[in-house]
């Protein structure tokens, strides 16, 4: 084998110009693939990160049919307390879940006492929402300088376009009027604490209020009112004056910082809110598929009386139109790789066909002195492989160098109000290995036909060749 390798290496270096040209072609192909995949990959992860971390979360859990009717904000498809607790227990037990945030979604009217407009709102726990969507605070215009997510009861984060259209300023009071699933209409005054930059995808133009405000606004009860639910119901009955009672109660709960989450969960168990969706952030985004599949299996056992599933699981791709762009990027990546394969295939096949044609007498001589056909085939395949190896080595080094240069020179871009986002292209080592393996396999494949032809030559004809 080492002798075949030695002869092949010498043959490859024998036609220096041809080898350089072929290796250069393969190098260019590999560089294009590496740079394109790293830059597009960086763009993709940046955009996906922006979307999932600003609004969607990585995965969302709903009652079956909710997402299909998402535009209508179907309150009758909210989860009841028991259903929510089922999901919460599953999420709490999962080591793959970094954070999750229950949301109450509602549609209503906003009034600044001068104009009215439609608005969609999310009732959230600010801290849990910020844990699940860590970039949400960065979307807030007029946010706290610390970047912390602050949304107290009685406050609202308004979509920027609505605020601008209605000439609403931060600190101004507005009224939200909403209808609950029973058709009961309620109104509540809020103070605008900030404005939200819109983002593409569902919920990208929604405003935010505290989840307890959503409970009171929608007068949520399930016939088994808990402590908070009862209080919420009381707040509806007695009007805004009763809100102070709530705030005191909430402030008392928040005072115990060490047990904050536990208390919040306890509070969740007590209130009677119906949750529209749960946004989930995973520990490792790369495990999205497997974690989602795990959720689907775990939730598959919950069926209604008709045997239909109660819950549905959606990852961000199913919820955001940006996933189409991601798919386009993936398709472009695929095409670039196909072009690389074509380049390697054509260039190596061309060189090897020429090499066989030029060395017919040599093949005849090798065969005459007793070289078996398999070894002749091995020799030419090795030559093709070596051409691929040279291209792979130079291509990977050059590609890595270019990506390094791109990182040093920093490519910046804007996305929404976020300017100066730095693209950080990086080469995934496994991607590099994959591309190298593809090139080498294609190199061998491209050499096979000429090599086979060489091995099948009749020595008497080959020796006669001029």
Partner 1 sequence: MALISSEGLSKSYYTRDIELKALDGLDFEIEPGRLVSFVGPSGSGKTTLLNLIGALDRPTAGRLTVAGTDVATLGRKSSAVFRGENIGFVFQNFNLLPVLTVYENVEYSLVMVRNVPPAERRKQITRLLEDVGMADQQHKFPDQISGGQKQRVAVARALVTNPRLVLADEPTANLDSKTAFMVIDLMKRMKNEFETSFLFSTHDHKIVDNAEIIYTLEDGKITDVKNAGGDA
Cβ-based neighbours of 308, under 8 Å, separated by 6 or more:
64
Which of 10/224 has CB closer to partner 1? Answer: 10
Residue 443: CB minimum distance to partner 1, A: 20
Helix (H) or strand (E) holding 44, with range, is helix 16-51
How distant, in Å, are the alpha carbons of 3, 171, 436 from that of 430? Answer: 32, 51, 10
Please state, in angstroms and rounded to a whole number, the distance separating the CA atoms of residues 215 and 116: 22
Rule CB under 8 A: say whether 223 interacts with partner 1. no
- Assess 373 for contact with partner 1 (CB under 8 A): yes
Contact 188, 216 (CB under 8 A): yes
**361 near partner 1, judged by CB under 8 A:** yes
Q: Verify binding: residue 369, partner 1, rule CB under 8 A.
A: yes
Residue 365 or residue 407: which is nearer to partner 1 going by CB?
A: 365
E-strand ranges in 125-254 read: 140-141, 155-159, 173-179, 185-196, 207-210
**107, 118 contact by CB (below 8 A):** yes
Q: Which stretch binds partner 1 (CB under 8 A): 94-102, 160-168, 292-300, 373-381?
A: 373-381
Return the axis-axis angle of helices 373-409 and 360-368, rounded to nearest 10°.
130
Tally of residues, the chain: 466
Instruction: Please select the residue that binds partner 1; options are 94, 179, 323, 365, rule is CB under 8 A.
Output: 365
17 lies in the site for partner 1, by CB under 8 A: no
Q: Pick from 448, 376, 435: which is nearest to 11 by CA?
A: 376
375 touching partner 1, by CB under 8 A: yes
Contact flag: residue 1 with partner 1 (CB under 8 A): no
Taking CB under 8 A as the rule, does residue 366 contact partner 1?
yes
Q: Establish if 16 lies at the interface with partner 1 (CB under 8 A).
A: no
Q: Does 186 bind partner 1 (CB under 8 A)?
A: no
Among 370, 408, 409, 412, binds partner 1 (CB under 8 A): 370
Give the separation between CA 390 and CA 29, rounded to whole angstroms: 13
* Binding footprint of partner 1, residue count (CB under 8 A): 25
**Residue 385 CB, nearest distance to partner 1 (Å)?**
17
Beta strands in 211-340 (DSSP E): 277-282, 311-315
Does position 333 interact with partner 1 (CB under 8 A)? The reply is: no
Looking at beta carbons only, is 369 or 408 nearer to partner 1?
A: 369
Please, what is the minimum distance in Å from the beta carbon of residue 349 to partner 1?
22
* Residue 265 binds partner 1 (CB under 8 A): no
Cβ-Cβ contacts under 8 Å for 322 (sequence gap 6 or more): 47, 48, 51, 200, 201
**Minimal distance, residue 357 CB to partner 1, in Å:** 16
CA distances from 434 to 28, 36, 42, 141 (A): 17, 15, 18, 44
Minimum distance of partner 1 from residue 4's CB (angstroms)? 8
Q: For residue 198, state whether it binds partner 1 (rule: CB under 8 A).
A: no
For partner 1, give the closer residue by CB, 7 or 170.
7
Distance between CA atoms of 320 and 133, rounded to whole angstroms?
15
- Footprint of partner 1 on residues 419-458 (CB under 8 A)? 456, 458
Q: Is 3 in the site for partner 1 (CB under 8 A)?
A: yes
Q: Which stretch binds partner 1 (CB under 8 A): 1-9, 71-79, 148-156, 185-193?
A: 1-9
331 binds partner 1 (CB under 8 A): no
Minimal CA–CA distance to 348: which of 318, 296, 386?
386
Q: How far apart are CA 439 and CA 392, in angstroms?
A: 7
Element (DSSP H or E) covering residue 447: helix 429-455
C-alpha distances out from residue 160 to 83, 103, 125, 222, 318, Å: 34, 20, 21, 34, 26
Give the residue from 31, 35, 32, 38 showing the smallest Cα distance to 394: 31
Which part of the chain contacts partner 1 (CB under 8 A), choosing from 38-46, 90-98, 293-301, 361-369? Answer: 361-369
Taking CB under 8 A as the binding criterion, the range among 32-40, 109-117, 368-376, 387-395 that sits at the site for partner 1 is: 368-376
> What is the smallest separation between the CB atom of 24 and partner 1, expressed in angstroms?
22
Q: At what angle do helices 373-409 and 16-51 cross, to 10 degrees?
A: 50
Q: Toward partner 1, which CB reaches closer, 9 or 345?
A: 9
Using CB under 8 A as the binding rule, whether residue 460 contacts partner 1 is answered as: yes
The piece of 121-129, 209-217, 370-378, 429-437 that touches partner 1 (CB under 8 A) is: 370-378
Window contacting partner 1 (CB under 8 A); options: 5-13, 30-38, 41-49, 249-257: 5-13
For residue 462, the minimal CB distance to partner 1 (Å) is: 9
Does position 465 interact with partner 1 (CB under 8 A)? The reply is: no
Chain residues that interact with partner 1, rule: CB under 8 A: 3-4, 7, 10-11, 14, 361-362, 364-375, 456, 458-460, 463
């Amino acid at each position: 084998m080492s002798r075949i390798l030695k002869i092949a290496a010498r043959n490859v270096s024998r036609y220096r110009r041809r080898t350089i040209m072929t290796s250069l072609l393969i190098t260019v192909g590999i560089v294009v693939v590496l740079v394109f995949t790293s830059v597009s990959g960086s763009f993709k992860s940046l955009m996906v990160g922006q979307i999932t971390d600003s609004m969607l979360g990585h995965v969302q859990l709903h009652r079956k049919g909710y997402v299909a009717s998402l535009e209508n904000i179907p309150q009758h498809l909210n989860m009841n307390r028991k259903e929510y607790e089922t999901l919460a227990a599953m999420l709490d037990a999962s080591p793959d879940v970094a954070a999750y945030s229950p949301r109450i979604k509602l549609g209503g009217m906003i009034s600044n006492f001068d104009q009215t407009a439609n608005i969609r709102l999310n009732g959230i726990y600010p801290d849990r929402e910020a844990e699940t969507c860590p970039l949400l605070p960065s979307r807030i215009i007029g946010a706290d300088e610390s970047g912390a997510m602050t949304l107290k009861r009685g406050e609202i984060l308004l979509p920027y376009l609505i605020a601008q259209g209605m000439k609403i300023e931060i600190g101004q009071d507005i009224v939200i009027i909403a209808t609950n699933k029973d058709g009961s209409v309620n109104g509540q005054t809020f103070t605008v604490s900030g404005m939200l930059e819109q983002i593409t995808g569902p919920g990208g133009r929604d405003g935010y209020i505290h989840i307890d405000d959503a409970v009171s606004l929608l007068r949520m009860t399930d016939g088994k009112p808990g402590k908070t639910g009862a209080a919420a119901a009381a707040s509806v009955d007695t009007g805004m004056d009763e809100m102070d009672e709530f705030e005191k109660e909430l402030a008392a709960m928040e005072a115990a910082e060490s047990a904050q989450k536990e208390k919040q969960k306890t509070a969740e168990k007590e209130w009677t809110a119906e949750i529209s969706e749960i946004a989930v952030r995973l520990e490792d985004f790369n495990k999205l598929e497997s974690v989602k599949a795990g959720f689907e299996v775990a939730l598959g056992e919950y069926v209604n009386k008709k045997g239909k599933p109660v819950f549905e699981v959606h990852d961000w791709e199913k919820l955001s139109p940006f996933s189409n762009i991601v798919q386009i990027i993936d398709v472009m990546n695929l095409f670039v790789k196909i072009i690389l394969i074509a380049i390697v295939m054509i260039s190596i096949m061309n060189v090897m066909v020429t090499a066989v044609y030029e060395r017919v007498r040599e093949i005849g001589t090798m065969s005459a002195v007793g070289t078996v056909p398999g070894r002749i085939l091995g020799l030419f395949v090795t030559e093709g492989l070596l051409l691929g190896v040279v291209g792979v080595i130079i291509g990977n080094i050059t590609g890595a160098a270019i990506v390094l240069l791109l990182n040093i020179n920093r490519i910046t871009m804007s996305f929404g109000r976020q300017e100066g986002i730095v693209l950080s292209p990086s080469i995934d080592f496994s991607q590099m290995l994959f591309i190298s393996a593809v090139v080498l396999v294609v190199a061998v494949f491209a050499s096979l036909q000429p090599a086979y032809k060489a091995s099948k030559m009749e020595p008497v004809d080959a020796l006669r060749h001029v």
